[in-house]
Amino acid sequence: MKQLSADFWSGLALGGLGVTIIVQARGWEYLGSDGPGPGFFPLWYGVAMVGLSALLVAFSFMKSETIDWHGAGRALGAWAALAAAIAALKLAGFVICFAALTFFVVAVMYRRPLVVAAITAVACAGAFYLVFPLALGVKLP
């Protein structure tokens, strides 16, 4: 029996996420009197995810490869860092969580020096703060 590839398992996971998005979006207004409602974009995003993940699963059977566990661990580490940043949003706020996530990605995932990671994190978080709350008047979570 052929060993299933990382693309197969990723396709299944993304397909499940797409189905979840579609189910949630169907509960929201699709079209309103002013045009597309809050369910319009998520519904089509979910449909695209399901379709593309089905292609990923189908194409995974056409090639033979072994799972790169080192790469998979790095990808899961990035997902875990994103989940931690999202979980900490209410406690620390967007700017701090975004800076911490950026620092992690630059320092750990891209293996850049800590000074470079810190400068990048502060610059990116500062740019978000300057653009959204200050320039546009949009409150960040």
Where exactly are the structural domains of the chain? 6-60, 69-136
Q: Among candidates 107, 140, 105, which has minimal Cα distance to 126?
A: 140
Per-residue pLDDT reduced to its tens digit, 18-73:
999 999 999 898 888 888 888 899 999 999 999 999 999 988 888 766 667 777 78
pTM score of the predicted model:
0.61
Show Cβ contacts of residue 6 under 8 Å, excluding neighbours closer than 6 positions: 65, 67, 68, 71, 72
Q: Among candidates 70, 76, 62, which has minimal Cα distance to 10?
A: 76
Task: Give me the residue label for tokens 């597309």.
Answer: 36
The vertex-77 CA angle with 70 and 53, nearest 5°, equals 80
Per-residue pLDDT reduced to its tens digit, 90-125:
999 999 999 999 999 999 999 999 999 999 999 999
